[in-house]
Amino acid sequence: MNRFTRKAAAFVTGLGLLAGSLAAQAEGQIRIAEQFGIVYLLLNVAQEQKLIEKHAKAAGVDAKVEWIKLSGGSAVNDALLSGNIEIAGAGVGPLLTLWDRTKGKQNVKGVASLGNFPYYLVSNNPNVKTIADFTEKDRIALPAVGVSVQSRVLQFASAKLWGDKEFNKLDKISVALPHPDAAAAIIKGGTEITGHFGNPPFQEQELAGNPNAHIVLNSYQVLGGPASATVLYATEKFRNENPKTYKAFVDALDEAAKFVTANPEKAADIYLKVSNAKLDRELLLKIIKNPEVQFKTTPQNTYALAEFMHRVGAIKNKPASVKDYFFDDAQNASGN
């Protein structure tokens, strides 16, 4: 009986390992983490129009797509490394942090950009005209201190102003706060939050909702022009083991970018529906049609931030070019 029990247990264990192996190689499952804001509009369109499912079906795959809402690059990176998501949506800063951390292991790299958007550091403190005017009494809200792209751009701006040794000077007055909460604090006023490095539409809501709100810093000024602040990234394992699902996702993203560019009015309606945002439609359309905003999947102006992060020791590995931290796909071929 003991021998029989052992053999049966070994057989069941073998079946379990086989099932696990098959599950790991099964195409179709894709869990996507997004955060808050219009910068995720391409994902909203893909979700509403079921574009991933459409392209997967054309490739003979029955896709199961899950959308997960998180806040901050740290939470997104943790979800990716723990295997709770396949596609991470966050800033270039979190991508570079994880690329550096997983180089030679999980090999996390960028999949595509979500477009070019200017990110504004907005303050409701009339005395703050530049970042040099912030004092110990001020607090700057951003998604994740020292990790999010907003935090990294602020550090980059600080290094340009005070030198590389002082790149993290403003970290001590920065606090992690989701964009909706930070925007509410700036609009309302009277709280310790006097600055918010956000993204659309929160920054535009702040400028429209509080007469004291004004732009202190524009990310384009720091990065040298239109730049991909928010990107999508994944592990090398997912890309290699799920080629059809991966391609379906990339193709869906490309179709969504073309749709938004050609149909801003419809795209605005989709955003309002999917995000349940309490946002003025005219303000939303103004953002989508802003000449500084470009809906494209090719990464642009990301390398300057990567070079800076290596220079100040935020990442150990120095990328030779964008090709080091983005996958070698068609949409990334002309990236920089």
> Is the omega angle on the peptide bond into residue 201 within 30 degrees of 0, that is, cis?
yes
pLDDT at 147: 85
Whether 148 and 107 map to the same domain: the answer is no
Residues 127 and 216 in one domain: yes
User: What is the reported pLDDT for 71?
Assistant: 82
The total of structural domains in the chain comes to 2
72-77 contacts at long range (C-beta below 8 A, 24 or more positions apart): 72/35, 72/143, 72/144, 72/147, 72/148, 72/176, 72/178, 73/97, 73/143, 73/144, 73/147, 73/148, 73/149, 74/144, 74/147, 75/144, 76/33, 76/35, 77/147
C-alpha to C-alpha distance for 255 and 260, rounded to whole angstroms: 9
Task: Residue 298: give its domain's CATH number.
Answer: 3.40.190.10
Q: What are phi and psi of 126, to 5 degrees?
A: -60, -20
Per residue of the chain (336 residues), give pLDDT as tens: 444 444 444 444 444 444 443 444 479 999 999 988 899 999 999 999 999 999 999 999 999 999 999 988 889 999 999 999 999 999 899 999 999 999 999 999 999 999 999 999 999 999 999 999 999 999 999 988 988 889 999 999 999 999 999 999 999 999 999 999 999 999 999 999 999 999 999 999 999 999 999 999 999 999 999 999 899 999 999 999 999 999 999 999 999 999 999 999 999 999 999 988 888 999 999 999 999 999 999 999 999 999 999 999 999 999 999 999 999 998 999 999
pTM of the model: 0.85
State whether 189 and 55 are in the same domain: no
**Same domain (yes/no): 11, 111:** yes
Pair 76, 110 in one domain: yes
Q: Do 175 and 212 fall into the same domain?
A: yes
Range of the domain at 104: 2-116+228-332
